[in-house]
Structure 1
Amino acid sequence: MTITWTAARMELPGAVQYTVVTGSEPGDQWHVSVAPPPPNLRKAAGPGPFPALYLLDGLLTFATAAHIAHTTFAYSLGQLRPIVVVGISPATDDLRRLSAQRARDMTPTSTDSGYLHVKTTYGMGGAGAMVDLIRDVIAPHLESAHPLDPADRGLGGFSLGGLLTCWALLRRPEGFRRFLAVSPSLWWDDHLLLDPRRTPVAARDAGDVYLAVGEREDGPHRSWPIMPDELRRELADLDMVADLAAFAGRLGGHRNLDVRSEVIPDEQHATVWPAAVTRGLVHLYRTGRDGEGPREGGS
């Protein structure tokens, strides 16, 4: 008996990737991946327009979130809105360049941090420019090419991407309706976002917020993979669980924000994203929260 195997590259059904170039420097390019409801769910999803969730760190977050959004919608019995997931990442396969551009794009200030072990080739403090890029360049282009609802943009991220999401929620919320931040790096710049004097909350319209952190992110001694002793000592004071509780407390006094904050049992920084994004999508996009009834579809 002859057995043969054939390998083929599998792509997310219905997804498309764009590259946006805003200048002549290597750090002026981003990949933008878009995952609308796939062909087998188009009838159930309807014609749109759909809410779009713009995810930072798309190389790490996009594929998982898109698959989860599609699977959860399919089994939601019409109780989850169909979502278009958008992932944004530096347009490079060079890991060092990607890390340097990511550090620039995701940080709100130009300070350095001992917790951030990357070369800052492109500098720091580019969060404001990144928000402008999404709001003024990426989102309008995608809304002209896909059935997206410009009144229902979401912003989400993990780790440094969660930091940028939280900063935008506090300081630059205009243009976004929903925010999803998982294990945000709230330690940045001596806990910048936890200080009301340094980071006051900007005036904004109503918004929906989902925050999450893994239970084991309260200290490096509980992390997996197991850190080398030297790194564990450097990060000994890091408690992302306490940081998130403090941030959620800041938001609790704002009546126009619907905030859900969760500590996900037995998860850690390396494993929390799939569980957190699943729960976040259900919280942010379940039907009925905005007066919208269930739609047909799902099984």
Structure 2
Amino acid sequence: MKYLLLLLSLLPWMAQAKPDLARVMGETLIERGSDFYTFKHFDLPSADGQRHYRVYLAIPKQAAPTSGYPVLYMLDGNAAMAALEDQWFRALPETPLLVMVGYAGERVINAPARTLDYTPAPQTGQPLVFQGRMAGGASAFLQLIETQIKPHVEAKYQLDNQRQSIWGHSFGGLFVLNTLFTKPQSFNRYIAASPSLWWQSGLIMEIEKQLPADVQAQLLILHGELEGQAHKGREVPKERAAAMRAVGADAVPKMLKRLAAFPGLQLGYQQLPGLGHGPMLPASIPWALKVATEPLAQ
């Protein structure tokens, strides 16, 4: 109950937030100080040298349990770092180690880079929804996480290999689902906030068919009550609007119904009241923290 009250207390100011692609990080918990964490970061380039990543690490001040820290990998790492609030951790049963994968620089959202890194490869002959932006780099980005970021973190900190979680919002949520469907062994727990199911007119629903029958994982999908509703002064590009219509407003419940056929996949769904797409990024993080720190089932 304490945890739910905390979440509800955060919703009023989150509901008023609007996405701002030019916003910079400003003061974060790194500068303000945390009762729960110390912070470090390391940088690395993409395989093609075109993108430069900054990976923020939030290392718990408490000693690791015998099984190791639960770990939460977070996409849009700059935005995640900017959003973190110390009060979120007070109600958790444990303090997870956070790996926030962002981009070099102070901008909260790097739209061109995340469009490339978080989206699966488009189908041949299908026009891109975002003309002028490169896309389809999800496989390469997952390889970067698996071969460079994970080994770096695992070499330095004791982690619980049965509680490894990943969270992402929007295109990040799409990446989370794509990873679950194609490489489900990569993580144990998946949190997809406002996943962009409309990408390439629902390509992720085709990718979903790759999910192996013996999958063992946990998935939580979060969605804002006001997502998909028109916003005054904001017009959805016609290509994106057409893709959203092709997928349908009931795409999430239909997906959950299909996924319920997998006995080893533990499913959850949460709709957050009064929130649109952009505010779902910070609002979904406390839910991800809760999932990441849940004890193993006995």
> Would you call these one fold, judging by a TM-score over 0.5?
yes
Q: 1:90-144: CA deviations, max 9, x gaps?
A: 3245799x32221111110135543x4x742xx3211111111112211111111
DSSP-derived class of the 2:149 partner: helix
Q: Describe the shift of the 1:10–1:93 C-alpha distance in structure 2 as closer, same or farther (beyond 3 A).
A: closer
Deviation at 1:235, TM superposition (A): 5.2
Instruction: Give the TM-score, by structure 2 length.
Output: 0.76
Alpha-carbon distance between aligned partners in 2 of 1:205 and 1:170, rounded to the nearest angstrom: 9
Alpha-carbon distance between aligned partners in 1 of 2:118 and 2:80, rounded to the nearest angstrom: 14
Q: Describe the shift of the 1:140–1:55 C-alpha distance in structure 2 as closer, same or farther (beyond 3 A).
A: same
DSSP-derived class of the 1:202 partner: coil
DSSP-derived class of the 1:51 partner: strand
Alpha-carbon distance between aligned partners in 2 of 1:162 and 1:137, rounded to the nearest angstrom: 21
Alpha-carbon distance between aligned partners in 1 of 2:163 and 2:136, rounded to the nearest angstrom: 27
Q: Which residue of 1 aligns with 2:174?
A: 163
Q: How many residues align?
A: 262
Instruction: Give the TM-score, by structure 1 length.
Output: 0.76
Q: Which residue of 1 aligns with 2:225?
A: 215
Q: Describe the shift of the 1:265–1:102 C-alpha distance in structure 2 as closer, same or farther (beyond 3 A).
A: same
- What stretches of structure 1 of length at least 5 have no aligned partner? 1-6, 292-299
Q: Which residue of 2 aligns with 1:276?
A: 284
Q: Describe the shift of the 1:119–1:234 C-alpha distance in structure 2 as closer, same or farther (beyond 3 A).
A: closer
Q: Describe the shift of the 1:253–1:275 C-alpha distance in structure 2 as closer, same or farther (beyond 3 A).
A: same
CA RMSD of aligned residues (A): 3.0
| 2:71/2:98 contact within 8 Å kept | yes
| 1:143/1:149 contact within 8 Å kept | no
Q: Which residue of 2 aligns with 1:130?
A: 141
Q: Which residue of 1 aligns with 2:100?
A: 87
DSSP-derived class of the 1:136 partner: helix
Alpha-carbon distance between aligned partners in 2 of 1:17 and 1:11, rounded to the nearest angstrom: 16
Aligned partner (choices 10, 32, 41) of residue 17 of structure 1: 41
- What stretches of structure 2 of length at least 5 have no aligned partner? 1-26
Q: Describe the shift of the 1:243–1:177 C-alpha distance in structure 2 as closer, same or farther (beyond 3 A).
A: same
Alpha-carbon distance between aligned partners in 1 of 2:48 and 2:204, rounded to the nearest angstrom: 33
Percent sequence identity over aligned pairs: 24
Q: Which residue of 2 aligns with 1:71?
A: 87
Which segment is superposed worse, 199-208 or 149-158?
199-208
Q: Which residue of 2 aligns with 1:290?
A: 297
Does residue 250 of structure 1 match 2:254? no
